[in-house]
A and B are shown apart, each in its own frame.
Chain A
Amino acid sequence: MSLAEKGIKFIEKITKNAGYNQEWIILRDDETSPEYGTLPYERPIQEHILNGVINLDKPPGPTSHEVVAWIKKMFNIERAGHGGTLEPHG
């Protein structure tokens, strides 16, 4: 399988896993060079962390903000953010 085929297959997989349905409109055929960039699932671990998302099961009690602060500390990274609050009081 070519690098471009792997890349497109990856996109199709994450779209399907997320529960969405999309069809392609193909304008032209093209390949991608192995000399730069990387398949998202083959990033070196450090890169993978810096370009990563955790689908976290928020524990009860702390606020979403507090949970993000803990994650930041655990990974020793400067920035982290969540996708929509899930507050203790609902």
Chain B
Amino acid sequence: MRISVQSEDFDLGAEVKAISGNPKIGAVASFVGLVRDNAMTLEHYPGMTERAIGKIVEEAKSRWQVMDCTVIHRHGALKPNDQIVLVAVASGHRGDAFAACEFIMDYLKTQAPFWKKEQTPEGVRWVEAKTTDDQAAERWTENSRPVAK
């Protein structure tokens, strides 16, 4: 398991390869989030950020078969189309890999202490939290999703 909060960019291919070595692994699901529309600065809470992501990954491991996992989140100044976040999950089968990857992303959106400040044509503003992000995280508590096997 690797969690990194960093200003540097990352290489999806290298990160997937790094968690694919075990011959029991049959699936790696990954997600990469990109900066959309406007340049932005990402602030975070050093220490708590890593801790919060660690707890989310532990929760995912308790729900699905997660054989390895990498979460990278960037901070600092980012421009449109830059990569912001990577979640990659290695598992025996695709169902667990897909579900754990999506779960980690949904929880990261509402639990990890990051804040985006956007440079819009109208000026600089803090991005408002979205209720749709809360709803995306909440659906995992409703058992509305089948646990993939």
Q: Do A and B bind each other?
A: no
